[in-house]
Amino acid sequence: MDYAFGPKKNWRRWAWNRVVERLSVPPAEALVVYLAGADDFDREVALQKGFKAHNLIAVERDKKALAALRSRGVLCIHGDFLDTLYSWPAHTNVHAVIGDLCCGLDVDLAIKIGRLSLSPALRTGLANTWNFMRGRELSGFNKIFDNDWAIQGLAAEAEMPKSKAREEILHRGKLLVKALAMDMSCIRLRNAGVKMEEPEDVMAALNSHVDVHRQAMRSLCDLTNPIFNSYRSTSGQTFDSVVWKFPNVSNCGANSLPGYYAEKYRPSNQRNVAAILAHRTMRMKGLNS
């Protein structure tokens, strides 16, 4: 796939500009974890925006691409992107995440991204970007989001008619925001004593408390300041993205996600993360000597 065509280049500049606007520190001090790809097109843009090479931590699963990146001096962690983020040590804060996933968004992926808000290293003022391919992966979302509470919640938040709101839910970046708004709604309902042990309980509760979802959606937008974008590839595929500041779920009334997907995610990439962070420390010492 071509990752250097015009709309993609424009998107890349747009995404990094929006991240800079949401950083809690200057770009020169920000630690960034991003998906590099074999060509590492993001690095040039990031350096132009004032980020430092030793603070740009790439992640790559493909061993051939990994070797190529490391041969060019790129600090690159071998492993899955989300697993790498889950494996991040609490004592090393990440300031920005660029998740140019270019895959579809399903329920499991939305839940995994939502769980990142529980990480002490990620949840304090984290500016993050997620990019998804719009495809046929919505089946898992149909039962959850094709309901009155979802349509009404978005319509109320954005002050748009329901027909337009239904179209908006197709946007994968907005769909991700909807998923996290559902988390917040569930937290508030559970704290109010509403029973939600099974997925069917969750849907029944949300359909009965549309006002709670409206409030959650408004609160989420206030907390995260999301902005959305879309572009089309050379083959005509649509890609949707969101840039936002990741919320601390404790601000929503709980310290863990609710109900049937609150089980602990077990990271497995701590050793690779630790090794690259050790290399980063050595480089920083060399710069300061």
Residues 6+ apart with CB under 8 A from 228: 171, 173, 174, 240, 241, 242
Around 139, how many Cα atoms within 13 Å sit in the side-chain half-sphere?
2
> Is 158's pLDDT higher than 70?
no
Residues 6+ apart with CB under 8 A from 273: 77, 79, 84, 87, 88, 89
Confidence (pTM): 0.84
Residue showing tokens 């350096």: 47
- For the chain, give the percent of residues with pLDDT over 70: 78
Both tokens of 106, joined, read 């399903």
Return the top range by mean pLDDT from 69-78, 182-191, 193-202: 69-78
Residues 6+ apart with CB under 8 A from 270: 87, 89
For the chain, what are the domain ranges? 6-288
**75-125 pLDDT, tens digit each:** 999 999 999 998 999 889 999 999 999 888 887 788 788 777 777 777 667
Distance CA 181, CA 150 (A): 10
Q: Which helix (H) or strand (E) holds 185?
A: helix 172-191
> Is 217's pLDDT higher than 80?
no
**245-268 pLDDT, tens digit each:** 876 554 444 444 433 333 455 677
> What pLDDT is recorded for position 167?
62
Residue showing tokens 């929006």: 18
Task: Mention the CATH class of domain 6-288.
Answer: alpha beta
> What pLDDT is recorded for position 47?
97
The phi and psi torsions of 151 (rounded to 5 degrees) equal -65, -45
Distance CA 48, CA 64 (A): 27
Handedness of CA 230, 234, 236, 237 (dihedral sign): negative
Residues 6+ apart with CB under 8 A from 107: 140, 141, 144, 179
Distance CA 60, CA 270 (A): 15
Using alpha carbons, select from 256, 214, 269, 216 the residue that is nearest to residue 120. 256
Both tokens of 57, joined, read 């931590």
What DSSP string describes 18-79?
HHHHH-SS-GGG--EEEE--TT-HHHHHHHHTT--GGGEEEEE--HHHHHHHHHTT--EEES
Return the higher-pLDDT residue of 115 and 46: 46
> Is 229's pLDDT higher than 60?
yes
> What pLDDT is recorded for position 68?
95
- For the chain, give the percent of residues with pLDDT over 90: 39
Return the higher-pLDDT residue of 143 and 74: 74
